[in-house]
Amino acid sequence: MKIDEVYCLGDIVGYGADPKEVMKTLSRKKIPSVMGNHDYAASSGDVLKFNPFAADSIYKTIEMISENELKFLGSLDKKMTVDLEGTKIYFVHGSPRDPLWEYVYEGDNLKIHLDTSKSDVLVMGHTHIPFTREIGGRLVMNAGSVGQPRDGDPRASFLVFDSEKGEGEIIRVHYNTDAAAQKIIDANIPVFFAQRLFSGT
């Protein structure tokens, strides 16, 4: 499978034990990213909307990264549009009307979000639950998550969009969950986030 471009839908930091390495990878590979709510929380220190586990994870993340890395997170745009040979693709972490905080699920009224984005293809994250839906010749998709899955499948999830066919495909891959979980525990991030890697919920 040939991949021409890679995009990140946010939450670069906030759950895992390698925030610096993730940011270095994005920079080295020149991967464009939108801001996720965890990126916002780390860069601003605002954890008011977070549960205690997530807030604790953000505080640990802030301790692990530099001031320049925090500024990088705070500089991310909350939405991104790409014109791919006449197909307008809209990337956002949450939703077009609330880029950081709104959860959008497959059973929701997805046309509202498509219309708000004024796009042909809308790609979101935030829920960690992947899906693809065609609505009137347009696409709404969620890439899922490469960590912290919430759909019962512990494998990493990402999305591939075939611009020639106009179709999206969810890809699931195994990775070393034992090592990732142990790193979370060793970093004193709440063990809940290590356990979720195995349960997928």
Which residue range(s) make up the domain with 111? 19-199
Report which of 48, 56, 60, 80 is spatially closest to residue 19, judged by C-alpha positions: 60
- Report yes or no on 6 lying in a domain: no
Classified as helix, coil or strand, 75 is helix
CATH number, domain of 194, equals: 3.60.21.10
162 within domain boundaries: yes
Within-domain flag for 13 = no
Spatial distance between the Cα atoms of 185 and 93, rounded to a whole number of angstroms: 27
Residue 201 confidence (pLDDT): 85
Question: Is the pLDDT score of 96 beyond 90?
Answer: yes
* Rounded Cα–Cα distance for residues 18 and 183 (Å): 8
Mean pLDDT of the chain: 96
Asked whether residue 112 is assigned to any structural domain, the reply reads yes
Decide if 154 is inside a domain.
yes
Total number of domains constituting the chain: 1
> Does residue 11 sit within a domain?
no
Angstrom distance (rounded) from CA 180 to CA 15: 11
Task: Render 25-51 in DSSP notation, one character per residue.
Answer: HHHHTT--BPPPHHHHHHHH---TTS-
Is residue 7 domain-resident?
no
| 36 three-state secondary structure | coil
Per the DSSP assignment, residues forming a β-bridge with 90 are 81, 122
Kindly state whether residue 72 falls inside one of the protein's structural domains. Answer: yes
pLDDT at 132: 98
The tens digit of pLDDT for each residue in 51-90 reads: 999 999 999 999 999 999 999 999 999 999 999 989 999 9
Contact 92, 116 (CB under 8 A): no
